[in-house]
Amino acid sequence: MQNDISQIFGENSLAKKSISVRAADLIRQKIVCGELLPGQHLKENDFADALGISKACVREAFLILSGEGLVVREANKATRVVEYSQKDIRDFYDYRCNIETMCLRVSMEEGTLPMDQLNAQVERMQALAERGETIDVQAYINADLAFHDLIVRASDNRWAIREWDILRSVMHLIYWVRTTYETNPIGRQNPVLHSQILRLAAEGDRDAAVRALAAHIENNKAIIGK
C-alpha cells in the first residue's frame, strides 16, 4: 500500500515554502547589511505585516535563518538576530580556514581555479580601496566574499559548497558588524594579501598558496576576533 502523496505534502505546500524562502532571503539581506542589528528581537507580526504574508510563513523563514546561524530561536519562541562572542568568531575562522584551504588545494590539483575571475575581484577591491573615505563598504565586502566564493566553488566539492553557503552569510554579517574599511586594517591589507595568494597559485606553488590563504584567514581572525 502506497502513501497518499497529497496527504504527505498537504495543500499548497510548495507555494507556502516558496513564500517562506523569499521572506528568508529578504530578512537575510537586512541582517547581513546591518539594518537588523545583533540582538534585535524579531516579531512575527511585524514581519507578517511588512511583507504581506502569514505569520506561519514568517515563522518558517525564521527557521531557515536559524539553520544558517543568523537568528536564534529562544525557549519562549521569541526570535532575535544572533550575537557572536569573540570565541564564536575565532571558532568560525578556524572552521572556515579548514574548508577554504582544502578547496584551494583541490582546485589547484585539478586545474579548475578561475584565475581571470579571481583577478577581477582583486582589481575590484583595489579600485574600491583607492576611494579612501568614500569607499562603498558593501561593494568592497561583496568583492572580498566573491573572491573566496570562487575558490570554494572551483573545488566542485558539493559538501564543502553546501557548508560554505551557510558560512558565507555568517561571514558577511561578521564583516559588516565588526569591521569597516576606515576603522580596521583588514580593508587596506586585503587586496595585497589576495594578490599574493593568486601569484603563488599562478606559479603552481600549491603548498605556498595554501599557506598564504591560511595566513590571510588567520590574520582576519586575529583582528576581528580580538
Query: Where do the DSSP E strands lie in 24-63?
Result: 41-42
- Burial class from Cβ neighbours inside 10 Å (0-12, 13-18, 19+) for residue 93 reads buried
How many structural domains compose the chain? 2
Examine the pLDDT at 7 and tell me if it is beyond 70.
no
Q: Which three cell numbers stand for residue 173?
A: 554579517
DSSP state of 134: G
Alpha carbons 60 and 58: distance in angstroms, whole number: 5
Examine the pLDDT at 153 and tell me if it is beyond 90.
yes
- Looking at residue 13, its pLDDT comes to 56
Same domain, 96 and 197: yes
Same domain, 19 and 51: yes
Residue with cell 587586496: 191
DSSP state of 75: T
Mean pLDDT of 77-98: 90
Q: Cβ contacts of residue 187 below 8 Å, gap of 6+?
A: 129, 135, 140, 179, 180, 181
Alpha carbons 118 and 148: distance in angstroms, whole number: 9
Side-chain-side CA neighbours of residue 60 (13 Å): 15
- Looking at residue 4, its pLDDT comes to 55
Same domain, 107 and 178: yes
Domain boundary (23, 52, 81) is at 81
Same domain, 196 and 104: yes
| Lowest model confidence (mean pLDDT) among 30-39, 47-56, 102-111, 214-223 | 30-39
Share of the chain above pLDDT 90, in %: 50
Across the chain, which distance is largest between two alpha carbons, in Å? 69
Same domain, 155 and 76: no
Domain boundary (62, 81, 100) is at 81
The domain that contains 24 carries what CATH number? 1.10.10.10
Examine the pLDDT at 120 and tell me if it is beyond 90.
yes
Is 147 a member of any domain? yes
Alpha carbons 207 and 150: distance in angstroms, whole number: 19
